[in-house]
A and B are shown apart, each in its own frame.
Chain A
């Protein structure tokens, strides 16, 4: 968030006062400045091209959501159909199913994953042996750097019914093994488990940074006032991370529809498809594997538009609550 903040404040500074001069003179000055900075523009060019080609050309490509796009006719030759694909999508039973799946995963994420790094960071903060604390930190950051393919593979290796370690343990205590990987009932718990395992450790980084700024004298003062361990946690430690928690919560609300494509795609199979499909994976299956380009672009656009409304809304909410906002 700090990234956004700093960038916007700097861009404001960058606004140059427009020269109030006659047209010819200001044009001359304009050309002079372009000429003076020609090396800078040359340096800017590759990056600019990147954004135009891989970010802005696809934005323009969204027009195919309103066409019956055919790869042979191209964007210019395809027939316009207006909002037909959107109507189709909203009337399709898939729509409510995707909305439901996405919503449930997002709520589960908020309830089970979101608090995990906060709790872990607070516990780490209570450790008194620094070397031990650093060792634990080193270990818990590792899964964050692994790809989702590796995480999914390890999940398969441990939970498969043909000799998976976790399933053998389950079989030992429960009497029989459970088909976690293809059971619709276990899809959501597995997704939550994976994300908690992979990202909780990394999530503590930002909270530990906030905790490091707490003035130690406040603790000493609290002790003098007779505050016990828990009261110190409540009145000194928690207020220090409160604004971080609020900002992250708002960010999370802004990205409410963003369920990780890779994770869900990798854990989806024909048996759990019904509960697994979310907007992103649906776009992939319908668009890339079935070739319904226009329809899936419409679905993607719907998600993007709702997404940007949520982000801007969340930002507004943040400002209303007296926070800085994200950008």
Chain B
């Protein structure tokens, strides 16, 4: 898009140059902190304390990462995060798509009621404590399921997927019915294959949401061996408790961890999966938004 070519006054030209530089600076400002954290995680403790800001470390070292992967506590929490994200994404997709499809069928009795139920839950909620009590009474405290089930459906995503199903031409469905396909068969053999790009989009969204989720673990997981990366990160950096829950490290052969670079390395580990899938995300989020705004 952009502007069509048009006459430009000298003042306009100055504005263009200033704007060009300003927006470039904004772009850098958004990304530089991440670059510094990544660079610092590969630097030595000495360099981190002597130099204030750098993007290329003088001496490249894997010390911090070696420490992280040599301790039980870090490796376990990374595995927890990965496991919960993978299983959680599948569960979320299952719940969202299986509910969105019936809601998109206009002939379904009670559809209006179910839709209102969804919309009302977006306006009003029981709140933190009653939800906590429900999760507790289901016996889900300190269970990995507590990190998945309470956020299994994002109502916004549900409505977008519903709208998508609604916009699939009805002829496809009718011809399948003529061929003797059940409603379930239509969903499974026609609708789902057609929605592959949409599934990919929401898989990314859910994966990011679950990986980034700190709130659920804070509320429902008190057993420190089950903490996902986000909670560990909070403990290490915000509460400065580098060795909490790691009593084995207190033994005779205790080696002090590389404190500064360790912190940076944990940030990198929590950030990296998002940065890796970011190009795919960027490709998809425009599509997701577009789908939502299409009126059926």
Contacts and interface: CB of A to CB of B under 8 A. Distances in A.
Interface string B212-231: 11110011000000000011
A140 interface: yes
Interface residues of A, number: 110
A271 interface: no
Interface in B107-124: 107-109, 111-112, 114-119, 121, 123-124
Contacts of A30: 109
Contacts of B275: 142
Contacts of B9: 228-229
Interface stretch (A87-95, A99-107, A215-223, A245-253): A215-223
A158 B33 contact: yes
Contacts of B208: 145
Given A157-B37, A288-B219, A304-B127, A15 B112 contact: yes
A158 B37 CA distance: 10
Interface in A33-54: 33-34, 37, 39-44, 46-48, 50-51, 53-54
Contacts of B231: 149
Contacts of B90: none
Nearest to A219: B4
Chain B interface size band reads 35 or more
A323 interface: no
Interface in A121-145: 123-130, 132-133, 135-136, 138-143, 145
B256 interface: no
Interface string B1-41: 11110110101100110011011101111110110110000
Nearest to A267: B238
Nearest to A261: B215
Contacts of B98: 43-44, 46-47
Interface string A285-301: 00110000100110011
Nearest to A302: B127
A147 B231 CA distance: 11
Nearest to A64: B130
Given A133-B2, A205-B289, A287-B132, A148 B214 contact: yes
B52 A165 contact: yes
A229 B15 contact: yes
Nearest to B187: A43
Given A46-B95, A58-B125, A308-B124, A136 B26 contact: yes
Given A37-B109, A47-B98, A56 B30 contact: no
Interface in A1-34: 2-11, 13-16, 30, 33-34
A235 to B, nearest CB: 15
Interface stretch (B59-67, B68-76, B147-155, B247-255): B147-155
Nearest to A268: B238
Nearest to B5: A128
Contact of A150 (B52, B149, B233): B233
A166 B36 CA distance: 12
Contacts of B294: 6
Contact of B230 (A120, A149, A304): A149
- Grouping DSSP codes into helix (H, G, I), strand (E, B) and loop, the B interface class, with mixed when no group exceeds half, is helix
Contacts of A41: 102
B53 interface: yes
B19 A127 contact: yes
B292 A58 contact: no
A58 B130 contact: yes
B123 A10 contact: no
B30 A47 contact: no
A58 B127 contact: yes
Interface string A197-224: 1000100011001011000100110010
Top-3 shortest CB links A-B: A47-B99, A58-B126, A61-B130
Given A2-B293, A16-B107, A152-B238, 4 more contacts: A39-B184, A55-B126, A142-B275, A145-B281
28 contacts: A3-B159, A7-B162, A10-B115, A11-B111, A14-B106, A37-B109, A39-B184, A39-B187, A40-B105, A43-B99, A54-B150, A55-B121, A58-B134, A62-B127, A126-B16, A127-B23, A133-B2, A136-B26, A143-B30, A147-B213, A149-B238, A156-B237, A157-B263, A223-B6, A229-B11, A287-B129, A288-B129, A327-B119
